[in-house]
RNA sequence: GCCGUUGUAGCUCAGUCGGUAGAGCGGCGCACUCGUAAUGCGCAGGUCAAGGGUUCGAGUCCCUUCAACGGCUCCA
């Protein structure tokens, strides 16, 4: 989950409780595993963690915590807390610190970093050379900047819980050894803890993987392959509606639609720079008649070719090419996550080719699209993130041209500032061909994802020799803006499932109306209504099963169908319906014609109300 | 990819000490014809993820592989 209290969290009592709980946990672990090496243990948004290296077993396998260990550690923590041991602060010089932690290699590494003034005790970069300090409680002394509660008794013993064990790389680098991390959650009081645990339960209910199965949106089939979703008919409807929306909006914004194949020869991706910079995320090639082909991980090279299909003049610019392109990326197995992280994906992609003088307007036009969409979906919990390059990645992660990096980053910054768009800046997160603005959102269980993206490409058009003739009659290389405001179908629908908790607005709902006859005698009328609705483009079905009316209503409710039309003798007589909306509200004896108008209006306006 | 956990019917799960598999929901059939969140009865449905091993005997114990889940790393 996010925490929005950014000013001096260290001053917060809750921060101190969590930080102190981490120390107490480390003490408990060291008592149980005296040979354990301790790494770092910071407070986090919902609690704390601490990383340990437990060494190897006799067979040479990495020693890990068991769930029984967690119980024992938690029990021991409560004993330490009951001891009301004071947290004692002291400053030490580097030599003292090294002596103190002589048998703790991770701490020694941290001390070396502190000494050089590069990083703090959590491995984060710092500006000023920090003082080296420790905190001690009971038998445990840790390298630490603090602050802590005054004594262990101030950690409420009934308001924390050890949650899980996980592997985590030392300093977050996959080349480093993997440590054992214990996550705990800690709160001011028992009530807050219970609320947090309940929130986790609620989040599970709106997890898109659960809803996707229940509402028959998508499935994964083992024989098809990991990360390769199958869209069920209900999912197909949502895809169709999203594409309809995109086509409409993009047409108005001056885009042209194009179409490109799912694979291409090696040469194209060598040319684009994908193979040099992006090969790790691509499916391995297939070879036919001596030629290697790759599934496309992005659509840009194809669009570049379309740009280059004929000579372009400044009069053609900006040229906006749009495609819901299907891309394939070989995400590492452990990175897959329901629909949010898959290996085949359909992107709301487009590339805008423009001159430098048109950049700001085009860029802001795209930001405007984002806002239009987010407004439509009621997405208000997001952060715009400007991702820039890092010098150390030039030539490896990034195209090697620092001058252009700095220049384009500056252009983006200026455009965002001029447009009054708030954003945070993160170095070393850019695409290989340029800086990008990502829109970050959170899944139901609190994991962060990039939903939409907007990237500037100063490199690849030149690699493809893309030019246009400018007003002076000279050739000029266009800039390219990559943008995907509706993300991919996979991530967007995964997100929307959670965002709406499965209760889609009418225009997106796979089934918009279900007609429910009260007895068999009303079947014919019900079916006639359903057909009439279908004929006007409303997705509707009549439930002619032998269930009782109550069961039919329940089934429609469970599938989150927005409108239920209950029809019996009275409705047949009046050519009317008894409308029950998904939220439980009812309008009885509504003339069918009036209902038809109501639905059509609601769908046409893509309303978020029922 | 790495660390940990888990794989039993379409779904959610039970299965004791190793003795050849069970429930609810769902599906199908029959009966019921009902006014705003579950009508009753019956039937079908399983290579216990896959492969190997230990054992007289494996859903259960061991190994390998695959997949999912919680994290780390990485991303739309």
Band of the pLDDT at A361, cuts 50, 70, 90? very high
Statement: residue A242 has pLDDT above 60: yes
Nearest nucleotide to the CA of A586, by C1', is B36
Cβ-Cβ contacts under 8 Å for A592 (sequence gap 6 or more): A529, A532, A575, A576, A577
Band of the pLDDT at A6, cuts 50, 70, 90? very low
Give the pLDDT of residue A70.
87
CA at A223, C1' at B65: how many angstroms apart?
A: 15
Mean pLDDT of the A487-505 span: 95
**In which residue are the tokens 């809803």 written?**
A211
Statement: residue A71 has pLDDT above 50: yes
Task: State the nearest residue by CA to the C1' of B4.
Answer: A166
Cβ contact A577:A592 at 8 Å: yes
Q: How far apart are CA A229 and CA A210, in angstroms?
A: 14
CA A320 vs CA A264, A353, A363, A469: distances in Å: 22, 6, 12, 17
Give the pLDDT of residue A10.
58
Band of the pLDDT at A119, cuts 50, 70, 90? low
**In which residue are the tokens 């445990």 written?**
A140
Give the pLDDT of residue A12.
86
Cβ contact A518:A566 at 8 Å: yes
CA at A406, C1' at B36: how many angstroms apart?
A: 64
Beta strands in A485-546 (DSSP E): 513-517, 540-542
pTM: 0.92
Instruction: Dump pLDDT digits (tens) for A256-307.
Output: 999 999 999 999 999 998 998 899 899 999 999 999 999 999 999 999 999 9
Instruction: Dump pLDDT digits (tens) for A476-487.
Output: 999 999 999 999
What's the sign of the alpha-carbon dihedral A301, A305, A307, A311? positive
Cβ contact A108:A141 at 8 Å: no
Question: Which range, of A68-72, A257-261, A346-350, A371-375, averages the lowest pLDDT?
Answer: A68-72
Nearest nucleotide to the CA of A180, by C1', is B3
Give the pLDDT of residue A2.
35
Instruction: Enumerate the β-bridge partners of residue A324.
Output: A348
Nearest nucleotide to the CA of A174, by C1', is B73
Nearest nucleotide to the CA of A167, by C1', is B3
CA at A516, C1' at B74: how many angstroms apart?
A: 49
Closest residue by Cα to residue A353 from A219, A513, A183, A468: A468
Task: State the nearest residue by CA to the C1' of B66.
Answer: A222
Percent of chain A with pLDDT over 90: 75
Nearest nucleotide to the CA of A583, by C1', is B37
CA at A68, C1' at B59: how many angstroms apart?
A: 25
Statement: residue A132 has pLDDT above 80: yes
The ipTM, to two decimals, is 0.94
CA at A558, C1' at B46: how many angstroms apart?
A: 28
Band of the pLDDT at A520, cuts 50, 70, 90? very high
Q: How many CB atoms lie within 10 A of CB A337?
A: 18
Q: How far apart are CA A57 and CA A35, in angstroms?
A: 12
Instruction: Dump pLDDT digits (tens) for A577-597.
Output: 999 999 999 999 999 999 999
Band of the pLDDT at A58, cuts 50, 70, 90? low
Nearest nucleotide to the CA of A489, by C1', is B76
The chain-wide mean pLDDT, for chain A, equals 91
Nearest nucleotide to the CA of A571, by C1', is B35
Q: How many CB atoms lie within 10 A of CB A298?
A: 23
Give the pLDDT of residue A123.
52
Give the pLDDT of residue A121.
52
Mean pLDDT of the A447-461 span: 90
Mean pLDDT of the A216-228 span: 93
Q: Under DSSP, is residue A295 helix (H, G, I), strand (E, B) or coil?
A: strand
CA at A561, C1' at B31: how many angstroms apart?
A: 30
Percent of chain A with pLDDT over 70: 95
CA at A559, C1' at B38: how many angstroms apart?
A: 14
Give the pLDDT of residue A1.
31
Statement: residue A16 has pLDDT above 90: yes
Nearest nucleotide to the CA of A222, by C1', is B67
CA dihedral A72, A77, A83, A85 (to 10 degrees): 140
Nearest nucleotide to the CA of A558, by C1', is B37
Give the pLDDT of residue A4.
39
CA at A570, C1' at B69: how many angstroms apart?
A: 51
CA at A336, C1' at B1: how many angstroms apart?
A: 12
Closest residue by Cα to residue A567 from A510, A527, A607: A527
Instruction: Dump pLDDT digits (tens) for A363-413.
Output: 999 999 999 999 999 998 899 999 999 888 888 888 888 888 998 999 999
Instruction: Enumerate the β-bridge partners of residue A388.
Output: A427
Task: State the nearest residue by CA to the C1' of B40.
Answer: A547
Band of the pLDDT at A442, cuts 50, 70, 90? confident
Nearest nucleotide to the CA of A219, by C1', is B10
Q: Under DSSP, is residue A271 helix (H, G, I), strand (E, B) or coil?
A: helix
CA at A217, C1' at B27: how many angstroms apart?
A: 19
Band of the pLDDT at A114, cuts 50, 70, 90? confident
**In which residue are the tokens 């820039």 written?**
A388
Which positions of chain B lie under 7 Å from any protein Cβ? 1-5, 11-12, 30-39, 66-76
CA at A221, C1' at B20: how many angstroms apart?
A: 29
- DSSP 8-state code for residue A399: -
CA at A211, C1' at B59: how many angstroms apart?
A: 30
Q: How far apart are CA A545 and CA A524, in angstroms?
A: 13
CA at A552, C1' at B26: how many angstroms apart?
A: 15
Cβ contact A180:A26 at 8 Å: no
Nearest nucleotide to the CA of A338, by C1', is B68
CA at A60, C1' at B68: how many angstroms apart?
A: 28
Q: How far apart are CA A483 and CA A437, in angstroms?
A: 9
Instruction: Enumerate the β-bridge partners of residue A257.
Output: A322
Nearest nucleotide to the CA of A453, by C1', is B76
Task: State the nearest residue by CA to the C1' of B31.
Answer: A546
CA at A519, C1' at B44: how many angstroms apart?
A: 28
Closest residue by Cα to residue A520 from A552, A546, A553: A546
Nearest nucleotide to the CA of A570, by C1', is B35
CA at A115, C1' at B76: how many angstroms apart?
A: 41
Q: At what angle do helices A402-418 and A359-377 cross, to 10 degrees?
A: 60
CA at A96, C1' at B53: how many angstroms apart?
A: 56
Question: Which range, of A68-72, A500-504, A575-579, averages the lowest pLDDT?
Answer: A68-72
Q: How far apart are CA A502 and CA A91, in angstroms?
A: 55
């Amino acid at each position: 989950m996010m925490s929005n209290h950014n000013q001096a969290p260290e001053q917060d009592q809750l921060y101190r409780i969590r930080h102190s709980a981490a120390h107490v946990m480390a003490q408990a672990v060291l008592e149980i595993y005296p040979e354990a090496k301790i790494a770092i243990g910071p407070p986090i948004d919902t609690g704390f963690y601490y990383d340990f290296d437990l060494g190897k077993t006799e067979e040479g396998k990495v020693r890990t915590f068991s769930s029984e260990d967690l119980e024992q550690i938690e029990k021991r923590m409560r004993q330490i807390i009951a001891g009301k041991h004071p947290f004692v602060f002291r400053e030490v010089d580097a030599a003292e610190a090294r002596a103190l932690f002589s048998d703790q290699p991770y701490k020694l590494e941290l001390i070396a970093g502190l000494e050089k003034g590069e990083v703090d005790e959590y491995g984060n970069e710092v500006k000023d050379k920090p003082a080296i300090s420790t905190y001690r409680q009971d038998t445990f002394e840790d390298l630490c900047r603090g602050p802590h509660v005054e004594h262990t008794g101030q950690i409420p013993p009934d308001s924390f819980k050890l949650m899980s064990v996980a592997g985590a790389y030392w300093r977050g680098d996959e080349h480093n050894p993997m440590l054992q991390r214990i996550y705990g959650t800690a709160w001011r009081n028992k009530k807050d803890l219970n609320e947090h645990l309940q929130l986790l339960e609620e989040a599970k209910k709106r997890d898109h993987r659960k809803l996707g199965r229940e509402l028959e949106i998508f499935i994964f089939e083992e024989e098809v392959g990991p990360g390769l979703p199958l869209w069920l008919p209900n999912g197909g409807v949502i895809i169709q509606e999203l594409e309809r929306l995109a086509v409409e909006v993009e047409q108005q914004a001056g885009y042209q639609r194009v179409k490109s194949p799912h694979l291409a020869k090696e040469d194209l991706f060598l040319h684009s720079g994908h193979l040099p910079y992006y090969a790790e995320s691509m499916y391995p090639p297939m070879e036919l008649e001596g030629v290697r082909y790759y599934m496309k991980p992005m659509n840009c090279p194809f669009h570049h070719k379309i740009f280059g299909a004929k000579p372009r003049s400044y009069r053609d610019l900006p040229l906006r090419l749009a495609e819901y392109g299907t891309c394939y990326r070989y995400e590492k197995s452990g990175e897959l996550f329901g629909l949010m992280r898959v290996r085949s994906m359909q992107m709301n992609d487009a590339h805008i080719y423009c001159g430098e003088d048109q950049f700001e307007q085009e860029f802001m036009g795209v930001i405007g699209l984002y806002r239009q969409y987010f407004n439509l979906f009621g997405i208000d919990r997001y952060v715009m993130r400007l991702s820039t390059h890092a010098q150390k990645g030039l030539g490896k992660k990034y195209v090697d041209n620092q001058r252009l990096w700095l220049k384009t980053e500056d252009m983006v910054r200026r455009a965002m500032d001029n447009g009054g768009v708030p954003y945070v800046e993160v170095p070393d997160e850019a695409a290989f061909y340029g800086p990008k603005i990502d829109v970050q959102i959170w899944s139901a269980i609190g994991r962060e994802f990039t939903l939409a993206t907007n990237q500037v490409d100063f490199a690849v058009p030149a690699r493809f020799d893309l030019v246009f003739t400018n007003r002076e009659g000279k050739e000029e290389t266009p800039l390219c803006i990559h943008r995907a405001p509706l993300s991919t179908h996979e991530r967007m629908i995964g997100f929307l499932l959670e965002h709406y908790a499965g209760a889609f607005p009418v225009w997106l709902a796979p089934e918009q109306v279900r007609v429910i006859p009260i007895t068999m005698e009303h079947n014919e009328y019900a079916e006639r209504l359903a057909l009439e609705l279908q004929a006007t483009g409303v997705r509707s079905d009549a439930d002619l099963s032998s269930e009782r009316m109550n069961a039919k209503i329940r089934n429609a409710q469970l599938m989150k169908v927005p409108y239920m039309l209950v029809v019996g003798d009275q409705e047949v007589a009046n050519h009317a319906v008894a409308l029950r909306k998904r939220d439980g509200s009812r309008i009885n004896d509504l003339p069918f014609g009036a209902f038809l108008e109501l639905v059509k209006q609601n769908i046409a306006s893509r309303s978020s109300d029922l």
